[in-house]
Amino acid sequence: MTTTQPPTSGTEAAARRRLLPQVTGTVGPLGIGVAVLWLTVIVLLPLAALTVTAFEDGWAGFWDAITAPAALAAIRVTVGVSIVVALINAVVGTLIAWVLVRDEFPGKRVVNAIIDLPFALPTIVASIVLLSLYGPDSPIDIHLNATRPGLVVALLFVTLPFVVRSVQPVLLEVDHEVEEAAASLGAGNWTTFRRVVLPALAPAIIGGTGLAFARAIGEYGSVVLIGGNIPRLTQVVSQHIQQQIEIDRPVNAAAESVALLAIAFVTLLGLRFFAERTARKEMRQR
Amino acid sequence: MRVSRFTQLSLRTIALGYLLILLIVPLVLILWRTFENGIGAFIDSISTPAAISALHLSLLIVAIVVPVNVIFGVVTAIALVRGRFPGRGLVQGIVDLPFAVSPIVVGVALILLWGANGWFGGIESLGFQVIFGLPGMVIATIFVTLPFVVREVEPVLVEIGDEQEQAAATLGASRWQTFWRITLPAIRWGLTYGVVLTVARSLGEFGAVIMVSSGFPGVSQTLTLLVHSRYIDDHNTFGAYSAATLLMGIALLTLLLMTILDRKRENA
C-alpha cells in the first residue's frame, strides 16, 4: 500500500537527459500513453462513474443516502468494530513482533512464517476457517456467528500481519546501547520501554494500525459468513452496499461507497502526512 | 533492556496463545473436518460437476488476467520509472488506488460503468455482456490485482538504471531488441514475484467477483463463490470445507513459491 517513489538521481541524471534527449528507455511517448489509458479505463473511469452516480441527486441526495438510519447504523458498526480491531492489533501486533525479535524459542521460524498466512489465504477461506471453530458446530462451544465479537475475530484474522510486519524491522534496528544506558541510569524495564523503545516504535505501530483500520472498514469476504448480516447489529457497510445494489438503489450504494472510500483515503493520507513529518524530524535530528 | 525470565515467558505465552486461537487451531480444525471421512470423501466433494466447473472458471480467469497484467503492468512500470511527464506523481497514486478500495466498492463501480444502465451500458445492447458475464469477472479481477506487477517491477527498474539500455540503443539495437535482451532478463524475478501475487489474488478474490457474477452453479461460479454458495445456499458444510481446503492448498503453495523467489531475488 505504500508508494515506492523511485529516487530521482539528481543533477547527474538531469545532465545526461539533456545530452540524450531522445532516449527515454524502451518505452517512449507511446508507452506512456498506453499506461495512462490503461489506468484510466481500469481504475479511474469506474471510480468516476461511482462518484458521479453518488452525487446524481446533488449534495442533499448524497447526504440523505449516507445518513439514512440503516446506512448510518452500518457505518457506526463498521467504524466501531474497526477501531477495536485496530487497537487490539496495535497492542498484540507489537507484542508478537517483540517476541519474534527479542525472544528465542524452538519453532520461531515457523511462527514467523505463518504470520503472513492471512494475506495469502482467500478471505472467504478465512471466514470458513473461523466458522469451523467459532460457528454453529463449534467443538469448544463458543458461538460467535452473527455477533460483533465474531466480526472482530474475523477482522483480527485478516489484519494480523499489518502491525507485526511494520514493527518487526524497526525493532531489529533499535539501538540496544540506549536501552542499556537507560537501565544503567536506574530506569526500570517499564520505564525503559515507555521512554526509549516505544517512542522509536511509535511511527511503525501507528502506520501498521492505520493500514489495519483501512483494511478492516472495507472488508467483506471474511465477515460475510461469520457476521450474519443482521441490520443495525452486525451488518457492515460493505454488506449494506451490496444490499442496496440487490434492491436496485444504485445511487444509495454509490453514495455509501464514496463515504467508505473517503474514510479509507483520509486514513491513508493522514498516515502519509504523519510518516513524512516523522521522516523530516529524524532528518533534522541527524 | 533485559526482561526477567517471568516476563519473557509471559509475553511469549500471550503471543503464541493469540496466534494459536486465531490462526492455528481454526486451520487445523478445518483440515481435520475435511479429511475426517478419509481422503476419498474430499476428492469426491471437489470433483462434483459444479466444483470442476468452478475450478475451470477460476483458472480461465487467471489465464486471462495474468498475461494482461504482465503486458500492461510492465509497460506502466517502465513508463513510470523511465518516463518524464507531467502528472507522474498522480499516476503513481492511481496505481496504488486498488489496494485502498473495498472489493464491494470495486463491484459497485464496475456495475455503474459497465452495467446495463452504466456509462458504457451501450455495449451491452450490442450483445457484449460485461456485468453478470465472464468479462465482468475478468475486469474485476484485473482491478484488484493491477498494482502487483507494477509495484514488483518498478523497484528493479530503478535499481538497474538505464545505462545498459542506452548502450544497447547507441549500438543500434531497436526498442524491441533492447527490451527482450536487456530489460526483460533484468526484471524477470521481480516480474515472476508479481505474477505469483497476481495468481494468488485472482484465485482468492471474492467480494469484487460476487458483485459482478450471476453466480449460477456450474456456469458462473469461481472457487471462492462455490465455497460461499455451498455454505449459505446448500447448507453443505462439508462441501464448503473441502473447497476451502483446496483454496488453502493453493495459497500455501503460493507462500512457498514466494519464499523461494525471495531468495532468488536476493541472490540475483
Give the bridge partners for A245, in sequence order. none
Spatial CA neighbour of B131 closest among B204, B211, B69, B77: B211
Which of B:95-114 have CB within 8 Å of A?
A: 95-114
Confidence at residue A15, expressed as pLDDT on a 0 to 100 scale: 47
Mean pLDDT along residues A234-242: 94
Mean pLDDT of chain A: 86
* Closest residue of chain B to A164, computed from CA coordinates: B15
Q: Is the whole model's pTM more than 0.95, yes or no?
A: no
- Closest-CA distance, B268 to chain A, in angstroms, reads 20
What is the DSSP-derived secondary structure letter of residue B24?
I
Which residues does A215 contact at the CB level (< 8 Å), separation at least 6? Answer: A158, A159, A162
Confidence at residue B208, expressed as pLDDT on a 0 to 100 scale: 94
- Which string of b and e fits B105-127 if b means at least 16 CB within 10 Å? bbbbbbbbbbbeebebeeebeee
**CB spacing of B12 vs A183 below 8 angstroms:** no
* Closest residue of chain B to A98, computed from CA coordinates: B11
**CB spacing of A221 vs B206 below 8 angstroms:** yes
The predicted complex's ipTM stands at 0.88
Mean pLDDT along residues A151-158: 95
Q: Mind listing the pLDDT tens digit for each residue in A188-217?
A: 888 888 888 888 899 999 999 999 999 999
Nearest to A124 among B102, B143, B227 (CB): B227
Nearest to A192 among B1, B8, B78 (CB): B1
**CB spacing of A26 vs B165 below 8 angstroms:** yes
**CB spacing of A254 vs B76 below 8 angstroms:** no
State the DSSP string of A207-221.
HHHHHHHHHHHH--H
Q: Mind listing the pLDDT tens digit for each residue in B47-84?
A: 999 999 999 999 999 999 999 999 999 999 999 988 88
Q: Mind listing the pLDDT tens digit for each residue in B154-165?
A: 999 988 888 888
Confidence at residue A160, expressed as pLDDT on a 0 to 100 scale: 95
A81 pLDDT above the threshold of 90: yes
H helical segments located in B101-220: 103-114, 122-125, 134-160, 163-170, 175-178, 184-204, 207-212
Residues B165, B167, B172: CA angle, nearest 5 degrees: 95
Give the bridge partners for A24, in sequence order. A26
